[in-house]
Amino acid sequence: MVRKFVYLCLLLASLGGYIMFDGMVLLAAACFLFLLAVVLLVSLQIQKLRFQVKAIAGNGANGGDLAVMGEQAEVSFRMKNGSIFPVARADVRIWYSDGSQRKKRTASVELKGRGKLQFACAVPSEHTGVWHVQADRILLYDVLQMFTCRIRPPKPVELYILPPLHRVGLEIGRHRADESEETDDTQKGDDPSVLWQIREYQPGDSLRAIHWKLSARTDQWMVREYGRSESRLRVELLLDLREENDPVRLDDFRTAAASVMYTLLQKQLTCQVYWTEGDGERRFEISSEEELYEALRALVGSGRNRSQTGAPDGSRQLPGAALCLDMDGTLWEGNRRLVRFPGSGDDGETWELLKIEL
């Protein structure tokens, strides 16, 4: 603002001097100052049309928009100046919000003509949750930093701060009857009820595997190859998630829930986890790492400053649920107390000493 005021004073002084003293030098100076302002404004508009900004959540260490509580968490902004004019200064105002608090940060950067730049902004990771990050104002300055123009901000991004995953000892009794047959058509096996692929006949193939109808249509021998099926124990896990304003207690609950899901997955057990949220229910089946992180995304987005109702006091599980984790970090199987998990701040050795017997 000060530079713009000084520039305007110089332009008016040059025009005034020309009128008062009829000096051609002063008129030339006034024309130069006016044309310079026009060039600066035109170049600024060209930069605005060729300037691109994109927000990227995560640092790539855990993949995508994920970070682990207590570790490095950041959101990056990638800028590209497509014009030949350099950007002397670009001011970015960034807002962080997790539903309970809102923070602001500003950053100033420079870009060369046809240059690219990426800068990272640290996001708090002391507690689990979801951070909404948005750059709501981006201002470009001309070379002399007198004039500005506003750039359309990028789409806001979300960064999920997940609890750490601890593996807990697990023993499964032989008396359990909740096993199910699961088919796998991605690997070769010997189950005739599961088709893996159909291919051309090769010497040594069994005649029983010949696909007679397809062979008749294609005029060449075609054989079936079968997939496999295996028995997997299915475990239902109810999370007794309630409204909680203490972030440390909520972190402990989420860490315990994540560790139970992670342990069951490592044991190659299919886990169905669910909890009530408002008037509805969130339910996830976890049989792969991708499904685990999908459930954790939903979990860290629930539970703080929300109206939630879990299982009623004195009822540790709903009908059909095998396991129930309450807000105190205690895991129940019916009325049998299995284990009470430590806090999220305890070291890994404390978690490794725990054992769950189903």
Residue position matching structure tokens 């003293």: 21
Residue 253's H or E segment, with its range, is helix 247-266
Question: What pLDDT sits at residue 59?
Answer: 61
Question: What pLDDT sits at residue 215?
Answer: 82
Helices of type H across the chain:
2-21, 24-50, 212-218, 247-266, 289-300, 348-352
CA dist 32 and 278 (Å) reads: 67
Grade residue 115 by pLDDT with cuts at 50, 70 and 90: very high
Which one-letter DSSP state was computed for residue 175?
T
Q: Please name the amino acid found at residue 335.
A: N
Residue 324's H or E segment, with its range, is strand 323-325
Question: What pLDDT sits at residue 310?
Answer: 45
Burial of 303 (0-12, 13-18, 19+ CB in 10 A): buried
pLDDT: which is higher, 357 or 217: 217
Question: What pLDDT sits at residue 340?
Answer: 87
Average pLDDT over residues 230-245: 79
Grade residue 49 by pLDDT with cuts at 50, 70 and 90: very high
Grade residue 21 by pLDDT with cuts at 50, 70 and 90: confident
Cβ count near 279 (within 10 Å): 7
Architecture label for domain 48-162: Sandwich (2.60)
Between the alpha carbon of residue 183 and those of residues 188, 210, 283, 287, the distances in Å are: 11, 22, 22, 13
Residue 119 scores a pLDDT above 50? yes
Average pLDDT over residues 298-302: 90
Q: Please name the amino acid found at residue 43.
A: S
Q: Mean pLDDT, the chain, as a whole number?
A: 80
Residue position matching structure tokens 């105190």: 328
Give CA 91 to chain center in angstroms: 26
Grade residue 339 by pLDDT with cuts at 50, 70 and 90: confident
Beta strand extents in 98-166 (DSSP E only): 102-111, 116-122, 129-141, 148-151, 157-162
pLDDT: which is higher, 308 or 84: 84
Question: What pLDDT sits at residue 51?
Answer: 93
Average pLDDT over residues 262-276: 88
Stretch among 10-14, 160-164, 201-205, 317-321 having the lowest mean pLDDT: 317-321
pLDDT: which is higher, 162 or 167: 162
Question: What pLDDT sits at residue 46?
Answer: 92
State which of 109-123, 167-181, 190-204, 336-350 shows the largest mean pLDDT: 109-123
Residue 174 scores a pLDDT above 90? no
- Token reading at 109: 């950067």
First to last CA, the chain: 71
- The sign of the CA dihedral 123, 127, 128, 132 is negative
Which one-letter DSSP state was computed for residue 306?
S
If DSSP codes are grouped into helix, strand and coil, which group holds residue 78?
A: strand
* Each residue's pLDDT tens digit, 142-157: 888 888 899 999 999 9
Question: What pLDDT sits at residue 177?
Answer: 42
Asked if 77 and 53 count as a contact pair (C-beta separation under 8 A), the reply is yes
Average pLDDT over residues 261-278: 87
The domains of the chain are located at 48-162, 169-180+232-357, 183-230
Residue position matching structure tokens 């609890």: 163
CA dist 50 and 78 (Å) reads: 14
pLDDT: which is higher, 289 or 277: 289
Stretch among 66-70, 228-232, 340-344 having the lowest mean pLDDT: 228-232
Residue 176 scores a pLDDT above 50? no
Question: What pLDDT sits at residue 307?
Answer: 41
CA dist 8 and 5 (Å) reads: 5
Which one-letter DSSP state was computed for residue 209?
G
pLDDT: which is higher, 42 or 198: 42
CA dist 150 and 139 (Å) reads: 5
